[in-house]
């Protein structure tokens, strides 16, 4: 067995004798995932409101109302599912959706005639924000419908006064078309005034088009994984102080195979553990969020590779601290900004543009972006190669600088 492997095996054995911290590292992504899962519900379909609609009216107007929930920006936030009323109630009670909208029979006719009618919105008590959004949107829509009715008196009158031609189940296409065109134009004109809260919400999340296609898991999961990687890499980097304290680092310095393989073995052992944690994290993602495991093999490799680069980086930082305590502080001071800017706390998609631009240039941010692409099946060879080269460059530079520092007296406290 070459010394490099022997060094890795030695470190793995030592880790195995300290299973608690090992367990902790594996638990970090699992627990984080579990907590997020509990916080956001497990639909596996993103931070979107799930609106059940029991349309007992089934008129043109109720159809328009329901349709409004799946249009434009609101549509990206809302998943509408038609149900019948009792089934809807049961599912809300089971916590299976954000809210249930019950449209009573005759709603359309009442609305067109200007008579009051009551809509019922049953909220899921376990959810906070999403039902709020639905309720507010609904309120606005009803208000809008009122003004719309004023503005569009003519086309609406067309529907109500003409009524259904006898024997026909629906309005003639021409009537619907002209009415719809007029109403659409009106809606387009007044929309900026009608949906301010929705628009306000969206400004915090640029690139709504790209985001719309991504689920919650895809948005947050890679960041979570990288948070775990960063914590783990930082934790493992402390080992250089243990090696120094017990004098074994000095032995490594004076042995001819010496430091390259000694340090390389440390990274290799770290890589093995990172791979294990990567697999655990991806499995957790699969079962908790229904994460699509399209690129799972590639994702594990990428997690391992990027995590090892982070480990090299943290080792380098440790080696430039004046004491173990200082190393602790220093690596923490590096970890949090890296995690924050690099998309581990907030996805790049919800960051202000300039911050995301910086974050994507941190080594972990770059690697994280690539992991997102791998997981969503959007990675291509050129992008992967570029990210690989970038992260590799960081890792190699960190390794060589760390080696230099080990040679220039870290072992002897100089």
Partner 1 sequence: MIQVESLRKEYDGVVAVDDVSFTAGAGEVFGLLGPNGAGKSTTIGCISGLLSPTAGRIRVLGHDVMRDSRSAKSALGVVPQEIAVYEDASAEENVTYWGRAYGLRGGRLRARTSAALELAGLGDRAREPVKRFSGGMKRRLNFACGIVHEPRVLLLDEPTVGVDPQSRVRLLDLVREQAGAGTCVLYTTHYMEEAESLCDRLAIVDRGRVIASGTLEELRTLTAERDLVRLTGRFDPAAVSAGLAAAVPGVEVVSTDAAHLTVSVEEGSRRLPALFSALASLGAEIRETTLTRPSLESLFIKLTGKQLRE
Ligand X SMILES: Nc1ncnc2c1ncn2[C@@H]1O[C@H](COP(=O)(O)OP(=O)(O)OP(=O)(O)O)[C@@H](O)[C@H]1O
Binding-site ranges for ligand X (CB under 6 A): 412-414
User: Do the Cβ atoms of 20 and 67 come closer than 8 Å?
Assistant: no
Single residue of 6, 186, 272, 321 touching partner 1 by CB under 8 A: 6
Rg (CA), the chain: 29
Cross-sheet strand order for the sheet of 120-123: 78-82, 49-55, 99-103, 120-123
Nearest residue to ligand X by CB is 413
What is the closest distance, in whole angstroms, from the C-beta atom of residue 6 to partner 1 in the complex? 5
Determine which residue in the list 116, 256, 322, 381 makes contact with partner 1, applying CB under 8 A: 256
Identity of the residue, 86 or 414, whose beta carbon is nearer to ligand X in the bound complex: 414
Nearer Cβ to partner 1, position 128 or 412? Answer: 412
Angle between the 129-151 and 196-203 helix axes, to the nearest 10 degrees? 140
Name 55's bridge partners.
103
CA–CA distance, 165 with 148 (Å, rounded to integer): 25
CB of 317 to partner 1, least distance (A): 23
Contact call for residue 8 and partner 1 (CB under 8 A): no
Q: How far from 127 is each of 26, 33, 175, 260, 357, CA to CA, in Å?
A: 29, 18, 41, 54, 33
Which of 110, 248, 280, 294 forms a contact with partner 1 (CB under 8 A)? Answer: 248
Q: Does 42 bind partner 1 (CB under 8 A)?
A: no
Q: SS in 3 state form for 200-218?
A: HHHHCCCCHHHHHHCCHHH
Give the distance from CA 80 to its chain's centroid.
21
**Contacting residue, 20, 94, 254, 382, with partner 1 by CB under 8 A:** 254
Closer to ligand X by Cβ: residue 394 or 411:
411
* 42, 128, 178, 246: residue in contact with partner 1 (rule CB under 8 A): 246
Q: How far is the CB of 413 from ligand X (least distance, A)?
A: 5
Q: Looking at beta carbons only, is 306 or 411 nearer to ligand X?
A: 411
In a 13 Å sphere around the CA of 206, the CA atoms on its Cβ side amount to 9
Q: Which is nearer to partner 1, 196 or 247 (CB)?
A: 247
- List all residues 6 or more positions away from 245 whose beta carbon is below 8 Å from its beta carbon: 324
Binding site for partner 1 (CB under 8 A): 1, 3, 6-7, 10, 13-14, 17-18, 246-248, 250-258, 262, 409, 411-412, 414
């Amino acid at each position: 067995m070459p010394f490099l492997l022997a060094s890795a095996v030695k470190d793995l054995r030592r880790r195995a004798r300290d299973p608690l911290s090992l367990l902790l590292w594996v638990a970090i992504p699992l627990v984080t995932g579990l907590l997020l899962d509990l916080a956001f519900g497990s639909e596996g379909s993103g931070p979107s409101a799930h609106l059940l609609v029991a349309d007992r009216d089934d008129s043109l107007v109720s159809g328009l109302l329901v349709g409004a929930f799946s249009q434009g920006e609101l549509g990206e936030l809302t998943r509408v599912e038609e149900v019948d009323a009792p089934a809807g109630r049961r599912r809300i009670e089971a916590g299976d959706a954000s809210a249930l909208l019950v449209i009573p029979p005759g709603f359309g006719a009442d609305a067109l005639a200007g008579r009051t009618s009551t809509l019922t919105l049953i909220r899921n008590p376990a959810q906070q924000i999403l039902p709020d959004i639905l309720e507010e949107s609904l309120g606005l829509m009803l208000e809008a419908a009122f003004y719309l009715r004023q503005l569009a008196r003519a086309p609406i009158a067309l529907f109500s006064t003409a009524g259904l031609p006898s024997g026909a189940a629906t309005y003639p296409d021409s009537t619907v078309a002209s009415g719809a065109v007029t109403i659409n134009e009106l809606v387009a004109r007044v929309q900026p005034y009608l949906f301010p809260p929705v628009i306000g919400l969206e400004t915090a999340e640029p690139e709504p088009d790209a985001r719309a296609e991504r689920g919650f898991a895809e948005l947050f999961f890679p960041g979570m994984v990288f948070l775990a990687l960063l914590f783990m890499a930082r934790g493992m980097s402390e080992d250089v102080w243990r090696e120094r304290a017990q004098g074994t680092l000095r032995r490594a310095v004076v042995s001819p195979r010496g430091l390259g393989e000694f340090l390389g073995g440390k990274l290799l052992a770290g890589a093995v553990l990172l791979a294990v944690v990567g697999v655990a994290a991806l499995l957790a993602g699969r079962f908790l969020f229904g994460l699509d495991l399209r690129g799972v093999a590639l994702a594990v490799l990428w997690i391992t590779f990027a995590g090892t680069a982070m480990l090299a980086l943290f080792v380098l930082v440790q080696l430039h601290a004046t004491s173990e305590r200082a190393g602790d502080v220093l690596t923490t001071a590096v970890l949090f900004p890296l995690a924050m800017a690099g998309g581990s706390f907030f996805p790049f998609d919800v960051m202000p543009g300039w911050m995301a631009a910086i974050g994507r240039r941190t080594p972990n941010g770059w690697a994280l972006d690539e992991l997102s692409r791998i997981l969503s099946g959007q990675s291509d060879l050129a992008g992967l190669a570029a990210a690989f080269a970038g992260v590799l460059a960081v890792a190699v530079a960190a390794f060589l600088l760390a080696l230099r520092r080990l040679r220039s007296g870290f072992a002897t406290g100089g």
